[in-house]
Amino acid sequence: MLRPQDTRTRERKSLDGLWSFRVDTEGVGREERWFAAPLAGGVQMAVPASYNDLLADAGVRDHSGEVWYQRTVRIPRGWSGRRIAVHLESATHRATVWVGDTAVVSHEGGYTPFEADVSELVQPGDEVRLTVCVDNRLSFRTIPPGVIEQTAVGPRQRYWHDFFNYAGIHRSVWLSATPVAHLDDVTVVTALDGTAGTVRYTASAVAADGLDARAVLRDADGIEVGRASGTDATIAVDPVHPWAPGDGYLYDLELQLLDHAGEVVDSYHQSVGVRTVEVRGTEFLINGEPFRFTGFGMHEDHPGLGKGHNDALLVQDFALLGWIGANSLRTSHYPYSEDVLDHADRNGIVVIDETAAVGLNMGLGGGIFGGQGYQTFSEDTINDETQRVHAQAIRELVARDKNHPSVVLWSIANEPESDTEEAEHYFRPLFDVVREADPTRPAGFVNVMLAPHGKCRVSRFADVLMLNRYYGWYVHAGDLEAAEQAWDEELRAWAGEGKPIIVTEYGADTLPGMHAVDPQPWSEEYQVAYLDMNHRVFDRVDAVVGEHVWNFADFATTPGAMRVGGNKKGVFTRDRAPKGAAFALRRRWRRDLAAPSAPSRPDQA
């Protein structure tokens, strides 16, 4: 599946805006066929957005079950004879879509796209009713998992991840038209050799018998630099302008289907960054140069909007990444909007791309240690079926993001239980899945403090060690001296594995405006001292090739005794004001950026 585009043969029409919306409090919408008529009692709801915080109604915010979205759309008159599709970039966590009275697609998983070919159901020029039923319920068969518990006051959704279960249509919805004979996938793999680069593409097409394929590569100025014929070919570029951290140089690969007369039947544009990624010993190499990750684990999270995508806020977040000297981010804890990945490509920001497999650990809850009353892996909890859903989540992530040069590393889970035999059995095949889906990038998972060095049984499958550690916060809170010693010891033990280490989370909750002469937890000064302590430890261990502070910004969570209006580990507040730590990080990271080890570009030689 390719994302809808406007090209010389393709068109798309945005269905973003206000939709009619109704919460299915009683769970009767399907039985009553709410899709078959205008939504009775519908109110206006914005798409894209999380619906939770927009209606000033706790019943809506905390609703667990289905909600319904509906609108009408006129099929453009010029679209006759085309393949017409409805494309949703995401619906959290599962959805069914109807066109008129006909169900056209259902999709499981809240952060990857899906679409339906509706050509047979619509007539160009006509208006049709489009209904989307979105379900936010999590179970032991979903990624991320959760459980609905029956309590004295009714059912309650529980989950083991530390961010609010925002739901709805979080990203754009499109109506798209392609030729019936059309390209439906492309995979691009690039290589570098001295000043030369190669772009190998493999494309596939539908209903394209008798058609030829061709690819034209153009540089950022639109000048053609190479072309090739066929659905599988390599184009050489010399000299090449590589994609590199801080230098998001992109070529445009136009893929075409051609008829006998040489007329272009279909055209799709794939942006391409020519770069390589490799793990060698304890080094993480981009274009053969050691790369050191600085940046954050982030969240798609904003006041009001929840997890809805918004371009203005995207631009703001990336500007702050640039300001602070971050060269990378992790899409903690789910695949982010494709617009985020595109922006990372364009801006030379490196991405660790993560599935939504978070909370597969009954030893943890909301960042708080303590039993949850369930066993992580068992027939009734996380089991083979969950593993199948997880494998599908990995495949969908790779299928969507494989061509982004910014993506250099896959994270298949965050902080799962990883110190048991069951965990080993669960994860070993998932590493095969990710490597089969993408043999070109390293893969790993994010290790939790409960499975330290010597106990973790899953890290042996990973190319890169990603560690989340809270020495000085969840352990040795307030005692940075003890924290430093314990952290130093554990990190050196991990370094003995001979793999690169990225510290994917370290952070301290901080209330903006709380100050202390003698740094006390929750004060802005403590956050700075805590980060300084961590940095001393990292700088002593060569295998550490990355530091991602938890978190870029404060974010919404479920209410809890450990959360003051959400998680406050942000270096920025939820509305993106800097805490003191932002300036401290900027001093450290901007210094790193100026270092002479920054990858060189041939055109600057």
Where do contacts with ligand BDP occur on this chain (CB under 6 A)? Answer: 162, 333, 367, 414-415, 468, 505, 550, 567, 569
CB of 22 to ligand BDP, least distance (A): 32
Residue placing its CB nearer to ligand BDP in the complex, 63 or 476:
476
CB of 523 to ligand BDP, least distance (A): 17
State the helix-helix crossing angle for 384-401 and 338-347, rounded to 10 degrees.
50
Provide the H-helix boundaries in 170-276: none
Reply yes or no on whether 263 is catalytic: no
- In angstroms, rounded to a whole number, what is the distance separating the alpha carbons of residues 572 and 76? 44
Catalytic: which of 415, 417, 490, 547? 415
- Nearest-10 Cα torsion for 25, 29, 32, 38: 110
253: left (phi over 0), alpha (psi -120 to 50) or beta: beta
- The contacts of residue 312 (CB under 8 Å, 6+ apart) are none
CB of 569 to ligand BDP, least distance (A): 5
Provide the H-helix boundaries in 187-231: none
Residue placing its CB nearer to ligand BDP in the complex, 174 or 470:
470
Residue placing its CB nearer to ligand BDP in the complex, 367 or 546:
367
CB of 312 to ligand BDP, least distance (A): 25
Tokens 């979105």 sit on residue: 134
Cα separations (Å) of 597 from 239, 279, 591? 22, 17, 12
Reply yes or no on whether 379 is catalytic: no
CB of 162 to ligand BDP, least distance (A): 3
Residue placing its CB nearer to ligand BDP in the complex, 139 or 558:
558
Residue placing its CB nearer to ligand BDP in the complex, 198 or 374:
374
CB of 127 to ligand BDP, least distance (A): 44
Catalytic: which of 66, 484, 505, 524? 505
Q: How many other CB atoms sit within 10 Å of the CB of residue 133?
A: 23
CA 217 to chain centre: 28
Tokens of 578: 């800097």
End-to-end CA distance of the chain: 40
Residue, CB closest to ligand BDP? 367
CB of 281 to ligand BDP, least distance (A): 27
- Taking every pair of C-alpha atoms in the chain, what is the biggest distance, in angstroms? 78
Residue placing its CB nearer to ligand BDP in the complex, 140 or 473:
473
Tokens of 427: 């994860």
- Count of helix runs (H) and strand runs (E) in the chain: 8, 32
Query: CA nearest 103: which of 80, 129, 77, 140?
Result: 129
Q: How many other CB atoms sit within 10 Å of the CB of residue 56?
A: 7
Q: Does residue 494 contact residue 467 with C-beta atoms inside 8 Å?
A: yes
Tokens of 399: 């299928």
Residue placing its CB nearer to ligand BDP in the complex, 530 or 550:
550
Q: Active-site residue numbers?
A: 415, 505
